[in-house]
Amino acid sequence: MKKLNLAIIGQGRSGKDIHCAHLTSERNQLFNIKYVVDADEFRRNKALNLYEGSKVFADYKDLFNVNDIDVVVNASYSENHYEITKDLLSHGFNVMVEKPFGRNRYECNDLIKTAKDNGVKLAVFQQTFFAPFFIEAYKLVKSGKLGDIKQINIRYNGFSRRWDWQTLLKKLAGSTYNTGPHPIGMALGFLDFDKNAKVVYSKLDTCLTSGDADDYSKILITAPNKPLVDVEMHSIDAYCGYNLKIMGSKGTYLSDTMSWYKLKYIVDGENPERPVQETFLKNEAGEPIYCSEKLITHEEEGKFNGSAFDVGTQKIYEDLYKYLTGEKDNLYVTCEMARDVIGVIEQVHAENPLERKF
């Protein structure tokens, strides 16, 4: 299988520790790191040592002078995603851009159109859709094992503070733009990206952050005849204990995003329906009693093999390879899906404007 040449822009936590960590691992058999772009000299020198045979540039526009690149990964600062991606697409490059896809739906639609107009391919790096925990949870929801799903809670919470660029509104940062594409993408995924899905409540606030971007985010999303999805991303939950909870008419599923899951449910026929009794309940002595019973239930638990950072990253790159080589006509995670995620983020920020202080 022929490897494709890849250029990557950015050697920060995402570019180096997620993308290049995969691309230099045994899991990658599809791409060569040919060029690395970073404005920081230390990072460029580090890249030369880490990625054998690669060349480094300080400015992404230097890529315009080479002609052996099959795809460019844009892992630059969030506020630069749109501008750099559009420039690359306009110069005839295939691009996979990190999340967030853009500031708003307009930017996302413009990038989709720019790719089409220039006959190149565009992808968005939202690998959580390939994560084992999400794949299994989605299958469970569709299986009917938990009955009619009423509510799904997604928690990306913690008890910590930040003071880096990811706390600044001017950098397109904060919990909702930075972390949000993962849980919001999952939320829309559980709703099958229903065109009638809508945000019915949202709140953004600042708690422990040193910056002016949100580190408290609460979003409720639903669609007609679909469950309510409750999304949280904030820094003041010291006792969260889970990332995903699915509650249906027959049981509950609980998991984190990396390792474990458990579920408790009932099976049809094992707990016959009780007729409604309009009068008070009483025991044999005639004394009133509380309405309760011990249901016959079943419990399961297990562990996931991999996470969004290893399996998810591998799968999204494999999908990208098939798309670039023509083996597939479209991506598993489409640009339109990523655009709809940004649409939710755009709405939430519009409903909860934060004061810019920096």
Q: pLDDT tens, 69-107?
A: 999 999 999 999 999 999 999 999 999 999 999 999 999
Task: With a cut of 80, say whether residue 191 has pLDDT above it.
Answer: yes
Q: Is residue 358 part of a domain?
A: no
Cross-strand partners of 71: 6
pLDDT above 90: percentage of residues in the chain: 94
CATH code of the domain in which 174 resides: 3.30.360.10
What pLDDT does residue 74 have? Answer: 98
What pLDDT does residue 258 have? Answer: 74
Q: Which two tokens stand for residue 24?
A: 């230099």
Q: Is residue 182 part of a domain?
A: yes
Q: Is residue 100 part of a domain?
A: yes
Are residues 79 and 194 located together in one domain of the fold? no
Are residues 290 and 318 located together in one domain of the fold? no
Residue 118 and residue 299 in contact, taking contact as beta carbons nearer than 8 Å: no
Are residues 119 and 220 located together in one domain of the fold? no
Q: Report the alpha-carbon distance of residue 5 to residue 31 in Å, rounded.
A: 6
Q: Is residue 26 part of a domain?
A: yes
What residue has token string 């996979």? 96
Residue pLDDT, tens place only, 207-228: 999 999 999 999 999 999 999 9
Are residues 301 and 321 located together in one domain of the fold? no
pLDDT above 70: percentage of residues in the chain: 100
The gap between the terminal CA atoms of the chain, to the nearest Å, is 49
Are residues 112 and 13 located together in one domain of the fold? yes
Q: Is residue 336 part of a domain?
A: no
Task: With a cut of 90, say whether residue 269 has pLDDT above it.
Answer: yes
Are residues 172 and 270 located together in one domain of the fold? yes
What pLDDT does residue 76 have? Answer: 98
Q: Which two tokens stand for residue 277?
A: 């009794």
What residue has token string 């239930």? 297
Q: Is residue 136 part of a domain?
A: no
Q: Is residue 137 part of a domain?
A: no
Residues 6+ apart with CB under 8 A from 235: 157, 158, 159, 160, 161, 162, 175, 207, 208, 209, 215, 216
Residues 6+ apart with CB under 8 A from 287: none
Range of the domain at 244: 142-306+342-351
Are residues 47 and 102 located together in one domain of the fold? yes
Instruction: Give 259's pLDDT tier (boundaries 50, 70, 90).
Output: confident
Are residues 117 and 190 located together in one domain of the fold? no
Number of domains in the chain: 2
Instruction: Give 60's pLDDT tier (boundaries 50, 70, 90).
Output: very high
Q: Which of 15, 64, 21, 13 is nearest to 36 (CA)?
A: 15
Are residues 179 and 106 located together in one domain of the fold? no
Are residues 189 and 325 located together in one domain of the fold? no
Residue 44 and residue 56 in contact, taking contact as beta carbons nearer than 8 Å: yes
C-alpha 311: how far from chain center: 14
pTM over 0.85: yes
State the chain's mean pLDDT as an integer.
96
Mean pLDDT of 179-192: 98
Residue pLDDT, tens place only, 314-323: 999 999 999 9
CATH code of the domain in which 103 resides: 3.40.50.720
Are residues 167 and 259 located together in one domain of the fold? yes
Mean pLDDT of 339-352: 98
Q: Which of 18, 4, 61, 71 is nearest to 37 (CA)?
A: 61
Instruction: Give 241's pLDDT tier (boundaries 50, 70, 90).
Output: confident
- Return left, alpha or beta for 225; rule: phi > 0 is left, psi -120 to 50 is alpha, else beta: left
Q: Which two tokens stand for residue 96?
A: 């996979």
What pLDDT does residue 256 have? Answer: 87
Task: With a cut of 80, say whether residue 257 has pLDDT above it.
Answer: no
Are residues 97 and 155 located together in one domain of the fold? no
Residue pLDDT, tens place only, 144-184: 999 999 999 999 999 999 999 999 999 999 999 999 999 99
SS3 208: coil
